[in-house]
A and B are shown apart, each in its own frame.
Chain A
Amino acid sequence: MKTLVWVEHDNASVKDATLAAVTAASQLGEVHLLVAGEGCAAVADEAAKIAGVGKVHLADDAAYGHGLAENVAPLIADLMGSHDAFVAPATTTGKNVAPRVAALLDVMQISDILSVEGDKTFTRPIYAGNAIATVESSDAKLVITVRGTAFAKAEATGGSATVEAVSGPGDAGISSYVGSEIAKSERPELTSAKIIVSGGRALKDSETFQQYIFPLADKLGAAVGASRAAVDAGYVPNDYQVGQTGKIVAPEVYIAIGISGAIQHLAGMKDSKTIIAINKDEDAPIFQVADLGLVADLFNAVPELTEKV
């Protein structure tokens, strides 16, 4: 089977989520990559070095500059004439583009897969991760999005694929990019961090969140996450949100501070290797999944912990 993998990039480098998608795709067969964007030749060169990649298709055109689904999906649908499967990481970009491609091909998409069980058989989480479905596709072509935390990352070096320029239908003329506000952070990226320190509603406000969570994260070299309650209350921007409706993470260590452990939050972090919870309510559901729990007032425990680690 020939698979086409969507390369997620920021015009400068390949994003980590792509590497997990490559691993999933390699379990299906020959892996080709698609780098679409404007002025992204350097990304294609970097992508060509990913281990196990057969070919890199480079679509360099102003129409693909910001990954607008209206312009990119027809390009992918064209390329699917010579591929059997389209695989994208289940990032906001992948989730935006892949279903549009699937509908153009008249196939059902298989969202957020956790494993490849066979040529057409996959597992995926449903009901916020409270059940795992094994599904088999009857479609001629496959369109798949991949949960990044469920697959090991392919080696970013060692490959030597050829880069081939491709062109597509170009600008559909029905949408345009206006601008973006990207939250600045010097800490590791949430979805790829080894350690995450995450805060919940119990932090009380934005200042206490900064005052208690950030120093501990910095001392551990960790990324900072948050529960939906903390985000909705405005303590931190929404891209910090870990959960069913936010980011899905699976770090080595996840430290949940002042987070009760609602279903929607657990769906985003329960595959972490070690979960540590600090909460003053000893009956909080978070303790049912935590490997290490400390029942304590976070306003006393966290500064002490920060000082001692």
Chain B
Amino acid sequence: MKILVPVKRVIDYNVKPRVKADGTGVDLANVKMSMNPFDEIAVEEAIRLKEKGVATEIVAVSVGPAKAQETLRTALAMGADRAILVQTDDEVEPLAVAKILKAIADEETPGLVILGKQAIDDDSNQTGQMLAALTGRPQGTFASEVTVDGDSVTVKREVDGGLETVKLTMPAIVTTDLRLNEPRYASLPNIMKAKSKPLANKTPADYGVDIAPRLKTLKVSEPPVRQAGVKVPDVDTLVAKIKELGIA
């Protein structure tokens, strides 16, 4: 079975984003970029399934600018077998990404597509579900455990209030939650080896997908700033203040 793993190049999660003064977006010039943390978990899960003998090949895919190659090389260094870059400098919305992924899934016919549950830049949490809808396949979102058994996959999902388990007929779409696994670091020899693994260069037009945005961003602004508070010297003062709030 082949596994397809879409990955996204995003602002590093440790960086505090700055809104541009003209309100057109977030300033990404000279900002450290990395693989979306949920996608690292997706790559790791695919590799673990390969190590268990469940998967035979892992194909990493990214839709984005030329620099998204670096993100794909990271996936290759972790253990993916080959990569596809669908190159575009335009902003691509989840719906368009899902359409591109559908076209790739039609070509590659993976048993599983494992995505991160959301990207930490647009915080949409849509692509996996949309891909599942477009391909007519079942979805196991917010997965914290994935078990493949013959032609079905059992997914333990993180839901409000606890965990839920569903059984899906393969091929299926899975999106990862944080506790699915702890992604490995790519070792130096593997980073070197990744440089010679195949990376195909494509464009959205190759898949016949129109990536024109459906949503227009009118403005990006800073969130309201909280007023600075006060530090209290001891518990007694804190208790007095809490009592003023009327909660105790």
A interface, CB within 8 angstroms of B: 66, 68-70, 73, 91-93, 95-104, 106-112, 121, 125-139, 172-183, 191, 194-195, 219-220, 228, 231-232, 237-239, 244-245, 247, 252-253, 263-264, 270, 274-276, 278, 282, 287-296, 301, 304-305, 308-309
Contact = CB atoms under 8 A, between A and B. Distances in A.
Contacts of A128: 17, 120, 123
Given A183-B162, A294-B232, A135 B138 contact: no
B248 A219 contact: yes
Interface stretch (B57-65, B197-205, B213-221): B213-221
A132 B160 contact: no
A129 B222 CA distance: 9
Q: Which 8 A-B pairs have the closest CB atoms?
A: A99-B129, A103-B133, A103-B130, A291-B229, A99-B126, A309-B248, A108-B214, A178-B165
Contacts of B214: 107-108, 137-139
Contacts of A91: 160
18 contacts: A93-B159, A95-B125, A103-B98, A103-B131, A108-B94, A111-B123, A111-B124, A121-B218, A128-B17, A131-B222, A135-B216, A173-B169, A174-B136, A174-B169, A174-B172, A181-B162, A238-B179, A278-B238
B71 interface: no
Given A107-B95, A126-B26, A238-B179, A138 B216 contact: yes
A94 to B, nearest CB: 10
Nearest to B242: A309
A276 B229 CA distance: 9
Contacts of A247: 160
B228 interface: yes
Contacts of B121: 126-127
Interface in B51-83: none
B130 A100 contact: yes
A107 B98 CA distance: 12
Contact of B167 (A108, A121, A127, A176): A176
B130 A102 contact: yes
Interface in B1-51: 11, 13, 16-17, 19, 26
Nearest to A77: B133
A189 to B, nearest CB: 8
A174 B129 CA distance: 14
B192 interface: no
B141 A178 contact: no
Given A182-B162, A228-B178, A136 B228 contact: no
In this complex, which of A91, A101, A263 has the most chain B Cβ atoms within 10 angstroms of its Cβ?
Answer: A263
B160 A109 contact: no
A293 B228 CA distance: 10
A276 B238 contact: yes
Interface residues of B, number: 81
A121 B219 CA distance: 11
A247 B162 CA distance: 12
Contacts of A101: 133
A175 B125 contact: no
B123 A138 contact: no
Interface of B: 11, 13, 16-17, 19, 26, 93-95, 98, 117-118, 120-134, 136-139, 141-142, 144, 154, 157-169, 172, 177-179, 213-223, 226-232, 234-236, 238-239, 241-243, 245, 247-248
B167 A92 contact: no
Contact of A130 (B94, B136, B223): B223
Contacts of B243: 309
B158 A125 contact: no
Nearest to B153: A175
A276 to B, nearest CB: 7
In this complex, which of B16, B17, B220, B238 has the most chain A Cβ atoms within 10 angstroms of its Cβ?
Answer: B238
Given A69-B129, A131-B222, A95 B141 contact: yes
A287 B231 contact: yes
A100 B17 contact: no
A126 B238 contact: no
B248 A109 contact: no
A137 B231 CA distance: 44
A132 B23 CA distance: 10
Contact of A293 (B129, B142, B232): B232
Given A112-B123, A183-B161, A305 B220 contact: no
Contact of B17 (A93, A97, A130): A130
B117 to A, nearest CB: 8
A218 B131 CA distance: 44
A131 B19 contact: yes
Given A93-B159, A239-B160, A127 B120 contact: yes
Given A138-B214, A174-B169, A220 B133 contact: no
Nearest to B141: A96
Nearest to A129: B223
B228 A288 contact: yes
B31 to A, nearest CB: 11
Given A135-B216, A136-B215, A294-B238, A180 B221 contact: no
